[in-house]
């Protein structure tokens, strides 16, 4: 495929020149009749803690293994020196480990610890960092620790850039805090803690370092640049926490939402299945702190303006990894799982007098989060899935009849399981069905009409995980994003049944990824928005209010034979019209936009056009975030009939107004 892409690239300039000779494509856009409303939830985000998306990513905590609970070694992620002992009778019952710093045994020796975070600790010049720790002096009296932001590779006289002392003044566990301002920018710094009072003994637990400047200033907050990237997508729906992570490699390691709420110090860590799912991209120190838990998810949804869509376990552990029935919960023993789902709804929406509503209020949000959707199960399949889903549906309908339930059609975009599950979801009365497709170029090119003939009387579609992958090597590149844009015209045209769509996965750390392509890449200091990100953003920005019928020779424009590689859709937004055209061909295409059904004296005027194209079709923005960006162009047009040209391999949006 690489060779093909290179050939395509070399055709680009030549092809542009052919436009004037090419036949004109006439698109009839019916302005008389508004089509289905585009749901506010149409374009959204799928969050899963894969590729260090949570700890080491969106969750702004800079210390790895802050509670000394990594199971193979409680000191994993730490370098201890002098006299450091791990103990396990700490103040937090679900995280019992802590460290005891004692006399190093000589006036010229030192006791302490270092932590270099996730691939280093990213510091920005002039930025403030809040260090906090739970501590005590077990023998009574006072003691001091010294906290430093430092780098062993610092060529200055001292390794530390900045240091502060913290006086520990009680034999009881208490939280201490100090703010350090970094005088430097360094993506790979470390945190070092010295026992300053060498003769004392000090116990330390939950050692944490956060930038003060988090998203919305929350102390247990999100990395501001990454949360901003989500906000800028205008996501209508926010799916969380996955993905396979919902199911667990075994039931023990499934995402248990109840462990992700309450004080962060007492949220038990969970294994992250992406630590070991691919042994060719192994990260033995990848765990979920649950610091970004369900409360933080609901809050962030509210702050970025999305509807939250939690997915809960249906009692089936990941079916890719468990053939044996005994790995799953028998249908007649699902009660605890069903209760977890009901309790989650209560946590989100319950009155403060309810058990879980009270916890939400205690955590800082007495008002309900107004949860409307709940997914049950991730990529489940076989007869066992509807059998497991059914009791959830009954219990949720009985207690919360307004909650919309999302079922799944399994991991495949078509085939036996898919064909079996869709009617089953209809039989069970699921409101939406979650479809997944990580598929190659030819699949995306052939699916422009995918939803045109779907059952209009069944559940609605949630395209819950999708991305265009090249065969073999998978990586972010323009051509794949272009085909996503082409495919999305079919989502928009079918807005009556497609109610949600979320690209996946969302985030990837450049040093910690297991899966690609991804929507947003980042390192310890920077965010890189991919071309796929801009495709999603453009669809969201120009979502419109109602679909309009757009045809060429009375057929939907879906990249079908004879349609010159064109995909197109149109929406109305008040007095504006947005026409989206994706030219997947190697030739520039002349298009006549013929607006029908307008009054004689009515005209449409061009407002602007947005263009996303490049001749670097194998590239993306990961190394240079400005490499391929949408451009806004002037668009002067007037009338009911407008001629435009769309360049080869190009996504264009034409904005017109009455």
Please, which of residues 446-485 interact with ligand AHR by CB under 6 A?
A: 465
In whole angstroms, the minimum distance from the beta carbon of 379 to ligand AHR comes to 5
Tokens of 575: 């007095």
Tokens of 415: 């085939």
Looking at the Cβ atoms of 467 and 582, the one nearer to ligand AHR is 467
- The site that binds ligand AHR (CB under 6 A) totals a number of residues, namely 13
Sign of the alpha-carbon dihedral angle for 340, 341, 344, 345:
negative
Query: In the set 115, 378, 408, 569, which binds ligand AHR (CB under 6 A)?
Result: 378
Distance CA 55, CA 210 (A): 12
Tell me: does residue 318 bind ligand AHR (CB under 6 A). no
Please tell me whether the peptide bond between 241 and the residue prior to it is cis, using omega within 30 degrees of 0: yes
Looking at the Cβ atoms of 196 and 272, the one nearer to ligand AHR is 272
In whole angstroms, the minimum distance from the beta carbon of 408 to ligand AHR comes to 9
Cα separations in angstroms, 167 against 115, 149, 183, 495: 21, 18, 23, 61
Tell me: does residue 504 bind ligand AHR (CB under 6 A). yes
Tell me: does residue 512 bind ligand AHR (CB under 6 A). no
Provide the CB-side half-sphere exposure for 488 (13 A, CA): 35
Strands 566-573 and 576-583, bridge-based pairing: antiparallel
Distance CA 7, CA 231 (A): 38
Sign of the alpha-carbon dihedral angle for 351, 352, 353, 359:
positive
Looking at the Cβ atoms of 465 and 492, the one nearer to ligand AHR is 465
Distance CA 264, CA 208 (A): 11
Query: In the set 244, 528, 552, 568, which binds ligand AHR (CB under 6 A)?
Result: 244
Looking at the Cβ atoms of 318 and 497, the one nearer to ligand AHR is 318
In whole angstroms, the minimum distance from the beta carbon of 513 to ligand AHR comes to 11
- Residue sitting closest to ligand AHR (CB): 243
Mark the segment that binds ligand AHR (CB under 6 A) among 199-207, 211-219, 242-250, 631-639: 242-250
Distance CA 552, CA 25 (A): 7
Backbone angles phi, psi at 325, to 5 degrees: -55, -30
Are the C-beta atoms of residues 115 and 67 closer than 8 Å to each other? no
Tell me: does residue 411 bind ligand AHR (CB under 6 A). yes
Mark the segment that binds ligand AHR (CB under 6 A) among 6-14, 15-23, 107-115, 240-248: 240-248
Looking at the Cβ atoms of 235 and 242, the one nearer to ligand AHR is 242
Are the C-beta atoms of residues 574 and 37 closer than 8 Å to each other? no
In whole angstroms, the minimum distance from the beta carbon of 365 to ligand AHR comes to 28
Tell me: does residue 242 bind ligand AHR (CB under 6 A). yes
Tokens of 19: 């436009």
Distance CA 237, CA 535 (A): 16
Selecting among 69, 148, 379, 492, the annotated active-site residue is 379
Tell me: does residue 241 bind ligand AHR (CB under 6 A). no
- Give the per-residue contact string, 40-59, with ligand AHR (x = CB under 6 A; - = no): --------x-x---------
Tokens of 592: 């006549």
Query: In the set 444, 515, 539, 542, which binds ligand AHR (CB under 6 A)?
Result: 515
Tell me: does residue 559 bind ligand AHR (CB under 6 A). no
In whole angstroms, the minimum distance from the beta carbon of 507 to ligand AHR comes to 11
In whole angstroms, the minimum distance from the beta carbon of 471 to ligand AHR comes to 17
Looking at the Cβ atoms of 176 and 255, the one nearer to ligand AHR is 255
In whole angstroms, the minimum distance from the beta carbon of 53 to ligand AHR comes to 10
Looking at the Cβ atoms of 68 and 257, the one nearer to ligand AHR is 257
Going through 23-151 in order, the beta strands assigned E by DSSP cover 24-30, 43-46, 78-81, 83-87, 98-102, 112-115, 121-123, 128-136, 143-150
Are the C-beta atoms of residues 159 and 242 closer than 8 Å to each other? no
Distance CA 206, CA 134 (A): 6
Tell me: does residue 396 bind ligand AHR (CB under 6 A). no
- List of residues 6+ apart from 511 with CB closer than 8 A: 119, 523
Tell me: does residue 406 bind ligand AHR (CB under 6 A). no
Query: In the set 61, 148, 379, 435, which binds ligand AHR (CB under 6 A)?
Result: 379
Assess whether 379 carries a catalytic annotation. Answer: yes
Distance CA 27, CA 29 (A): 6
Tell me: does residue 308 bind ligand AHR (CB under 6 A). no
Backbone angles phi, psi at 446, to 5 degrees: -95, 0
Which residues are tagged catalytic?
379
Please give the residue ranges that form the binding site for ligand AHR (CB under 6 A): 48, 50, 242-244, 378-379, 411, 436, 465, 504-505, 515
């Amino acid at each position: 495929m690489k060779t093909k892409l290179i050939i395509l690239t070399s055709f680009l300039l030549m092809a542009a020149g052919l436009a004037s000779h090419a036949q004109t494509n006439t698109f009839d856009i019916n302005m008389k009749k508004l089509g289905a409303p585009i749901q506010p939830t149409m374009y959204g985000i799928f969050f899963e803690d894969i590729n260090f998306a949570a700890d080491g990513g969106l969750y702004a905590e800079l210390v790895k293994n802050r509670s000394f609970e990594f199971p193979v070694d409680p000191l994993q992620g730490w370098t201890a020196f002098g006299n450091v002992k791990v103990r396990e009778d700490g103040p937090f019952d679900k995280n019992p480990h802590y460290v005891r710093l004692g006399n190093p045994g000589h006036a010229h020796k030192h006791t302490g610890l270092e932590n270099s975070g996730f691939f280093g600790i990213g510091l920005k010049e002039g930025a403030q960092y809040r260090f906090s720790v739970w501590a005590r002096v077990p023998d009574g009296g006072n003691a001091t620790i010294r906290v430093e932001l430092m780098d062993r590779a610092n060529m200055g006289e001292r390794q530390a850039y900045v240091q502060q002392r913290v006086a520990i003044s009680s034999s009881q566990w208490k939280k201490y805090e100090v703010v350090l301002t970094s005088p430097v920018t360094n993506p790979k710094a470390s945190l070092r803690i010295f026992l300053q009072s060498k003769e004392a003994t000090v116990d330390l637990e939950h050692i944490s370092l956060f930038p003060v400047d988090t998203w919305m200033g929350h102390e247990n907050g999100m990395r501001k640049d990454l949360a901003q990237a989500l906000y800028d997508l205008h996501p209508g729906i926010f799916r969380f926490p996955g993905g396979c992570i919902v199911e667990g490699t075994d039931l023990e390691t499934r995402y248990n939402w109840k462990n992700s709420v309450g004080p962060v110090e007492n949220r038990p860590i969970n294994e992250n299945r992406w630590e070991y799912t691919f042994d060719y991209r192994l990260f033995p120190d990848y765990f979920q702190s649950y610091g970004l838990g369900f409360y933080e998810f609901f809050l962030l949804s509210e702050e970025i303006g999305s509807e939250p869509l939690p997915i809960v376990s249906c009692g089936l552990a990941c079916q890719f990894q468990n053939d044996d029935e005994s790995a799953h919960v028998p249908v007649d023993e699902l009660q605890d799982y069903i209760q977890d789902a009901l309790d989650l709804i209560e946590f989100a929406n319950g009155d403060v007098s309810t058990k879980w509503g009270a916890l939400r209020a205690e955590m800082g949000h007495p008002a309900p989060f107004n949860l409307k959707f709940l997914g049950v199960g991730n990529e489940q399949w076989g007869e066992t899935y509807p059998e497991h889903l059914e009791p959830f549906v009954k219990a949720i309908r009985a207690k919360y009849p307004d909650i919309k339930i999302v079922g799944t059609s399994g991991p495949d975009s078509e085939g036996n399981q898919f064909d079996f599950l869709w009617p089953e979801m209809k039989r069970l009365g699921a409101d939406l069905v979650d479809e997944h497709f990580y598929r190659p170029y030819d699949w995306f090119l052939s699916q422009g009409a995918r939803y045109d003939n779907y059952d209009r009387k069944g559940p609605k579609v949630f395209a819950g995980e999708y991305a265009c992958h090249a065969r073999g090597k998978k990586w972010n590149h323009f051509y794949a994003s272009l085909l996503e844009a082409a495919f999305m015209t079919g989502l928009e045209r079918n807005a009556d049944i497609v109610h949600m769509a979320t690209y996946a996965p969302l985030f990837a750390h450049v040093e910690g990824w297991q899966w690609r392509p991804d929507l947003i890449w980042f390192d310890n200091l920077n965010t890189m928005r991919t071309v796929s990100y801009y495709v999603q953003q453009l669809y969201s920005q120009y979502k419109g209010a109602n679909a309009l019928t757009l045809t060429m020779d009375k057929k939907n424009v879906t990249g079908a034979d004879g349609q010159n590689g064109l995909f197109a859709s149109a929406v109305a937004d008040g007095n504006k019209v947005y026409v989206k055209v994706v030219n997947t061909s190697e030739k520039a295409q002349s298009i006549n936009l013929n607006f029908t059904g307008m009054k004689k004296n009515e005209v449409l005027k061009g407002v602007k056009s947005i263009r996303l194209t490049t001749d670097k079709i194998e590239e993306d923005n990961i190394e240079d975030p400005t490499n391929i960006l949408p451009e806004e162009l002037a668009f002067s047009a007037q009338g009911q009939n407008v001629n435009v040209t769309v360049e080869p391999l190009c996504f264009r949006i034409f904005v017109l107004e009455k």
